[in-house]
Amino acid sequence: MIEQKKAYLGISQSAKERRWVERLDDRGGSIATAIGQSFDIPDIVARVMAGRGLDQASAEGYLDPAIKDLMPDPSCMTDMDKAAARIAKSIRDGDKIAIFGDYDVDGATSSALLYNFLAHCGIESTIYIPDRIFEGYGPNPDAIDQLIDAGHKLIITLDCGSTSFEALERAKERAVDVVILDHHQVGEELPPCAALVNPNRQDDISQLGHLAAVGVTFMAVVATNRELRKSGFYGSACPAPDLLAWLDLVALGTVCDVVPLKGLNRAFVIKGMLVIRKHSNIGLSALQAVSRVSGPVRPYHLGFLLGPRINAGGRIGDAALGARLLTTKNPSQAEQIANELERLNKERQALEQIMLEEATAQADMLLMGNPDTSCLVTSSPDWHAGIVGLLASRLKERFRRPAFAIAVGAGGQGTGSGRSIAGVDLGAAVRKAVDEGRLVKGGGHAMAAGLTVEEASLHSLKAYLEDELHGQVKQARSNDEMKIDGALTATGATEELVNLLEKAGPYGAGNSEPVFVFPSHTIAFADVVGQGGHVRCTLSNAAGGKLKAIAFRAAEEPLGKMVLENRGQPLHVAGSLSLDYWQGRPTVQLRILDVAKPVML
């Protein structure tokens, strides 16, 4: 039996009903000391690095990761050589090539990356992004017919296609090759195609299943580039491209698809952010302007400012807007598309707020009837199918258990999205439901899934998910701890410290942001700001230090209420540090993740 860690500062139940524990044990603390001494790194930064699995041997390369050191030979992926040879052939032959992408950020960046590579090689390709509502996810027979009728000799699917049997059968019937570049989980049976590159197919041993589709696409571009170079394609008329110049797209898609920021993914993001800061992509720069990004671009900007605006096109507008923005060379067009995405994003936010109130009420009723409910399944005929993924995410965050939100169409068929918590494999449960005939279709991965279900089957789906996930959810929730990287004071939370911590980043999925506790700091000021109900406050300590802090969407949550109700009183406050560049001047800010009342130890 594993001995339970001692509660940090004695907090066994915080405002979020979490137990606080120190991330590092004694051995980890010794490793942190060794890292700090070997590389002259402050102790707090060394503790963050050790807390993410690093030791002396791996620390040096971690601080300055190189793509060439971390990227394996693309040929290690099943079918990659076939894919590269087939794409290279169409480039040399001057064929008309169609790019069939998904409607999210990963799909848009993958499509833009391949489009830019083909354009450099003299191929004017066509990007086809399906309509989320009318066509759904992935290739469909009608779209395949449309592309073939337009004269395309090769179709390349990005971030989709691994399970599109009917559509790919149509392409086979019409003697047009399809190359699939994907990363979604897939069963043993594969659709007919010239090549299917997917690190998550069951016969792939590359161990690259953590890549986003844009990462897989970049690997395919590298492999195709090598194939073209070997055949003597490049010369004075068409020099070999600088592939690293497109890492801005790889970074954006990688962050927004919430894949683990480890190894190669982390290097993609670090180097990609350097490219973004050069403003070489006209569309991306225009989007930064309308998003009011201030200061150097960070993963936060990609995931929470730029990504949602690109996604807004696919959710409630023209799904192809994102890819069009990222490929345009016209500043005027870039500005126009960016403004349209900004408008759509505001419309999406308003719709989401209305839908979220109803979804939350449904979830409250479910939990009132059974507090041990393992998986929340909510639905409505009034919901927009493009926003259900956001609803599921909000429900998962609020209630700390897997959640589905399903928009039921006029024909009685529901389109839904699910989001999971760490330790609960939602994709596997959905695929099993498809195999058992409970769903019209569905798929996904551990943390997110999509499905189509008949309205009449909703009740049985809820019962199935409850039985299937109960054990996993119970285990995951019993381990619901907040891991603390260390204690700081308002005085010690400096700009210099934040910059040093960034060297151990970027932070995100699989490389969690450092969480620090500010023990017994007085809530000197607190109020509610913004339409989202954010709680803003100022922490102060006895030494006179002050720190601005914010808890997003927390006004109606126990966390926000505890902050507001304890003005002038001391609280233990846990959160992550960043720099806020309001009006161009950097200021340290704490994003509050949890709070707790001090206890007598």
Question: Is the separation of the CB atoms in 432 and 438 below 8 Å?
Answer: no
Q: Is residue 454 part of a domain?
A: yes
Whether the per-residue pLDDT at 366 is higher than 80: the answer is yes
- For residue 1, the model assigns a pLDDT of 41
- For residue 101, the model assigns a pLDDT of 97
Q: Is residue 176 part of a domain?
A: yes
CATH of the domain at 255: 3.90.1640.30
Whether the per-residue pLDDT at 484 is higher than 80: the answer is yes
Whether the per-residue pLDDT at 472 is higher than 60: the answer is yes
Domain boundary residue, one of 479, 501, 535: 479
Whether the per-residue pLDDT at 262 is higher than 50: the answer is yes
Distance between CA atoms of 597 and 573, rounded to whole angstroms?
Answer: 9
Share of the chain above pLDDT 90, in %: 78
Question: Is the separation of the CB atoms in 549 and 577 below 8 Å?
Answer: no
Average pLDDT in the chain? 93
Shared-domain flag, residues 375 and 466: yes
Nearest C-alpha neighbor of 21 from the set 574, 591, 577, 597: 574
- For residue 93, the model assigns a pLDDT of 97
On the 0-12 / 13-18 / 19+ scale of CB atoms within 10 A, 47 is: buried
Nearest C-alpha neighbor of 331 from the set 373, 286, 290: 286
Distance between CA atoms of 123 and 445, rounded to whole angstroms?
Answer: 34
Shared-domain flag, residues 399 and 276: no
Shared-domain flag, residues 538 and 424: no
Shared-domain flag, residues 473 and 505: no
Distance between CA atoms of 140 and 323, rounded to whole angstroms?
Answer: 19
Per-residue HEC secondary structure of 538-601 comes to EEECCCCCEEEEEECCCCCCHHHHHHHHCECCEEEEEEEEEEECHHHCCEEEEEEEEEECCCCC
Shared-domain flag, residues 527 and 492: yes
Domain residues for 332? 71-342
- For residue 505, the model assigns a pLDDT of 87
Shared-domain flag, residues 155 and 103: yes
Q: What are the pLDDT digits (tens) for 37-69?
A: 998 888 999 999 999 999 988 888 888 888 988
What's the gap between Cα 359 and its chain centre? 22
Domain boundary residue, one of 448, 479, 510: 479
Q: What are the pLDDT digits (tens) for 529-562?
A: 987 799 999 999 988 899 999 999 899 899 999 9
Looking at residue 73, the DSSP 8-state letter turns out to be P
Shared-domain flag, residues 260 and 380: no
Whether the per-residue pLDDT at 214 is higher than 80: the answer is yes
User: How many CA atoms lie within 13 Å of 368's alpha carbon, on the beta-carbon side?
Assistant: 6
Instruction: Give the predicted TM-score (pTM) of the model.
Output: 0.89
Shared-domain flag, residues 251 and 297: yes
CATH of the domain at 564: 2.40.50.460
Looking at residue 15, the DSSP 8-state letter turns out to be T
Distance between CA atoms of 83 and 179, rounded to whole angstroms?
Answer: 6
450, two tokens: 């999509």
Give me the sign of the Cα torsion angle 363, 366, 372, 374. negative
Question: Is the separation of the CB atoms in 402 and 374 below 8 Å?
Answer: yes
Question: Is the separation of the CB atoms in 313 and 344 below 8 Å?
Answer: yes
Shared-domain flag, residues 324 and 444: no
Matching residue, tokens 């960070």: 298
Shared-domain flag, residues 378 and 300: no
- For residue 601, the model assigns a pLDDT of 54
Q: What are the pLDDT digits (tens) for 276-324?
A: 999 999 999 999 999 999 888 999 899 999 999 999 998 888 999 999 9
Domain boundary residue, one of 454, 479, 504: 479
* Overall average pLDDT of the 78-102 stretch: 98
Q: CB within 8 A of 486, min separation 6: which ones?
A: 44, 47, 48, 514, 516, 517
Shared-domain flag, residues 457 and 555: no
Phi, psi for 436 (deg, rounded to 5): -90, 0
139, two tokens: 């290739």
Matching residue, tokens 């991965």: 445
On the 0-12 / 13-18 / 19+ scale of CB atoms within 10 A, 45 is: buried
Q: Specify the number of domains making up the chain.
A: 3
Q: What are the pLDDT digits (tens) for 319-361?
A: 999 999 999 999 999 999 999 999 999 999 999 999 999 999 9
pLDDT band for position 570 (cuts 50, 70, 90): very high
* Overall average pLDDT of the 117-131 stretch: 95
Cis check for the bond before 299: say yes or no (omega within 30 of 0): no
Whether the per-residue pLDDT at 17 is higher than 50: the answer is yes
Distance between CA atoms of 242 and 280, rounded to whole angstroms?
Answer: 13
Question: Is the separation of the CB atoms in 111 and 212 below 8 Å?
Answer: no
Q: CB within 8 A of 149, min separation 6: which ones?
A: none
